[in-house]
Structure 1
Amino acid sequence: MNPNIPARVRLIDVGPRDGLQNEKMPVPAEIKIGLVHRLQEAGLQEIEVTSYVSPKWVPQMADNHDVMSGIARVPGVDYSVLTPNLKGYEAAVQDRPDEIVVFGSASEAFSQKNINCSIAESIERFAPVVEAARSAGIRVRGAMSCTVGCPYEGEVAPERVGYLAGLLKGIGVQRVDVADTIGVGTPRKVQRAIEATLAHFALHEVSGHFHDTYGQALSNTLAALELGVWNFQSSVAGLGGCPYAKGATGNVATEDVVYMLHGMGIDTGIDLDKLVDAGAYISGFLDRKPNSRVAVALLNKRAG
């Protein structure tokens, strides 16, 4: 086995935030709280709970205060939230998150279309947010989107990823996610994006966030593991579609990642059965099957 492959992996479940934010059907706060409780009971130590974006843009996250204040927090579990600007941060800080997430794109076209400004301008806008959070003792993570491909400009060069990582490091961001937002990446491309990031951040400050649009997420996870990356984002039940590819899946399912890792003898601290229960809980509310091969297989086995 590759000596770089870590013996233990820590997963960040982004289902409650990234997974649910594009759901058309409103999900009540108590269901979101129930999902967070089931995830932490399954052994997740990092959960991305909600975002503080204007409810006009993301109505699904309008209940952020209710959700954050309704969670029975467990020691040893970190609760992170997405903050798009200083106003969002000021709302978030009242709810005592352990970490805030700011974001930037490695694609200039995506940045312009998404937030009407250049990559450099978008990161500069986050400087006061990062400064405020760090002063308050709140950790800061930077989500780097489109690190291998962009819906507008196609392939994204590793140099662009390095450029974005350098900008985030420059404003005080403590760790970053290398995200394949549209799921077009393949193992070597993903490794190049991670290597470009490692020029600015240490290995323990880098996580992988791979979408499964083209069925490559587990292969890309393995490619990142080969470089020694030990922190990954995934979404229970595969919640969260990809807004750019009609009918395509988005986030890789936490259940699928955990099954692979456990099969490789890698420790996650997660109870797969309880994780499947958490996915079945939210999928039941949304009235559909979990978007996880492993969850479907295990639920069928139980029913059999």
Structure 2
Amino acid sequence: MNWPTVIYNEEVMREGFGIEDVGITLDAKVAFLDALSETGLKRITVGAFVSPLFVPQMGCFEEMLRKFRPKEGVTYLTFIHNQKAKKLAEQYSPPLTIEEEFCTLFLDICDVHQRRNVNRSVEQMMDSWPEVIQNAKERGISKARIGIGSAWGSNFMGKFSQSYRFSFLERQMGLLNAAGITVFEIGLHDSQSWCLPHEMEEDLKQIKRLWPEVKQFNLHMHNARGMALPAIYTALRTLDSDDTVIIEGTLGGIGGGQFGGNGRASGMAATEDVIHMLEGMGISTGVDLDKVIDCVWMLEKIIGRAGFGHVAKAGPRPMNPDAFYDPNMPGVESLEAVKHFKLGPKAYEKEGYSPWKHPISGPYYQGPRESKND
């Protein structure tokens, strides 16, 4: 199958640590970011220039930028939400990369979440768009990104219809087209974890019917209800080979917003699970999954609990004889013993029991053999 081009953006430093314990030390964050940089991930959002009054977890952000070790070939990004943030980012470039500037119109279409998040209503946000567009034109910006948050529904207002969410995309598109600014990207953010896979398919098909010129999509998928990975897979199946999709997720699937009602349980698509799926589908990522798993285990020690992802717990599918499980290992029950996939037999030394009297053999198993595709 001809898949779309995939750009993966790692958000754990901003989206993840942005809701974790404010007491996590600067040294821990720096060590973690240094390890993360060695995994082969090419794009890492490392934080945001925001007031520590509202997001105290970002209070050490600038010091972290001065202390970590940038890896050549890795693009380090920050969330640039206004001109003040842009000017601060420019002071730290490098290591930060300031990407091409576009006119960006974004709106959380849940009026309650919009107000709780930024103290501005949906109407107030839309009223600001003409000024945003005019400012972009004066600076010679000719391309734009549009997007909506809480796209599929709200914990405060319920399920949103397709016509409701598209009314906001159509308004954004109309204003920009009238100003002579070309929209090249559409973002769909599941801020409150309401998306279901069939809705993702229907919406992407509708976007392509209405605006076939748009070839880039941004998916920011929270995972409070376990639908992030199925929705991402559906997007990959729905988009064309000449499309590009930016997928945003976090190591361990941690993250979430303080104002949606699900807190840390919001989570996100877990990086280790997404990378495992992409590679299994034949979409090369250049990411070393073994190093990613190391980073997930490191992250879990830092936050003091298990992440939400699966591959760092059960391991990737063993695809060659060297990775196949020993058929004569004891019964495995604990999560610590499961780490044998990476740590070897020492992981299950104290585990379970071995009820069989003789080593397992027979016509279907004669020792490790080359795996074959069906």
TM-score by length of 2: 0.69
TM-superposed CA distance for 1:142, in Å, is 6.0
2:65 counterpart residue number? 68
Looking at secondary structure, tell me which structure has more helix per residue: 1
2:221 counterpart residue number? 210
1:280 counterpart residue number? 297
| Alignment partners' CA distance in 2, 1:49 and 1:176 | 23
2:98 counterpart residue number? 98
Task: Give SS of 1:233's match.
Answer: strand
Instruction: Tell whether the 8 Å contact from 2:151 to 2:191 is kept in structure 1 after alignment.
Output: yes
Task: Give SS of 1:178's match.
Answer: strand
2:191 counterpart residue number? 181
2:332 counterpart residue number? none
Code of the residue aligned with 1:16 in structure 2: it is: M
Q: Structure 1 stretch 33-42 or stretch 17-26: which is displaced more?
A: 33-42
Task: Give SS of 1:43's match.
Answer: coil
1:296 counterpart residue number? 313
| Alignment partners' CA distance in 1, 2:77 and 2:146 | 12
1:42 counterpart residue number? 39
TM-superposed CA distance for 1:223, in Å, is 0.9
When the two structures are aligned, how many residues end up with a matched partner? 300
Task: Give SS of 1:261's match.
Answer: helix
Code of the residue aligned with 1:233 in structure 2: it is: E
Mapped pair 1:222 → 2:233: yes
2:333 counterpart residue number? none
Q: Any idea what the Cα deviations from partners look like across 1:54-93, whole Å, max 9, x if unmatched?
A: 1100000122222233343334432222234443333333
Instruction: Tell whether the 8 Å contact from 2:10 to 2:271 is kept in structure 1 after alignment.
Output: yes
2:201 counterpart residue number? 191
2:124 counterpart residue number? 121
TM-superposed CA distance for 1:27, in Å, is 2.5
Which entry has the higher C-alpha Rg, 1 or 2?
Answer: 2
| Alignment partners' CA distance in 2, 1:281 and 1:136 | 45
Q: Percent identity?
A: 24
TM-superposed CA distance for 1:156, in Å, is 2.1
Task: Give SS of 1:79's match.
Answer: strand
TM-superposed CA distance for 1:248, in Å, is 2.8
Unaligned runs of 5+ in 1: none
| Alignment partners' CA distance in 2, 1:140 and 1:55 | 30
Mapped pair 1:150 → 2:154: yes
TM-score by length of 1: 0.83
Q: Any idea what the Cα deviations from partners look like across 1:8-56, whole Å, max 9, x if unmatched?
A: 5221010000111011242233332333332332111111111122110
| Alignment partners' CA distance in 2, 1:167 and 1:40 | 39
Give the alignment partner of residue 236 of structure 1, picking from 251, 255, 273: 251
State the structure with bigger RCO (CA 8 A, min sep 6), 1 or 2. Answer: 1
| Alignment partners' CA distance in 2, 1:117 and 1:209 | 21
Instruction: Tell whether the 8 Å contact from 2:272 to 2:312 is kept in structure 1 after alignment.
Output: yes
Give the alignment partner of residue 56 of structure 1, picking from 28, 45, 53: 53
TM-superposed CA distance for 1:219, in Å, is 0.8
Q: CA RMSD in A?
A: 3.4
Superposed, 1:125-140 pairs within 5 Å as 125=128
TM-superposed CA distance for 1:221, in Å, is 0.8
Task: Give SS of 1:121's match.
Answer: helix
| Alignment partners' CA distance in 2, 1:280 and 1:204 | 36
Task: Give SS of 2:64's match.
Answer: helix
Code of the residue aligned with 1:57 in structure 2: it is: F
1:5 counterpart residue number? 3
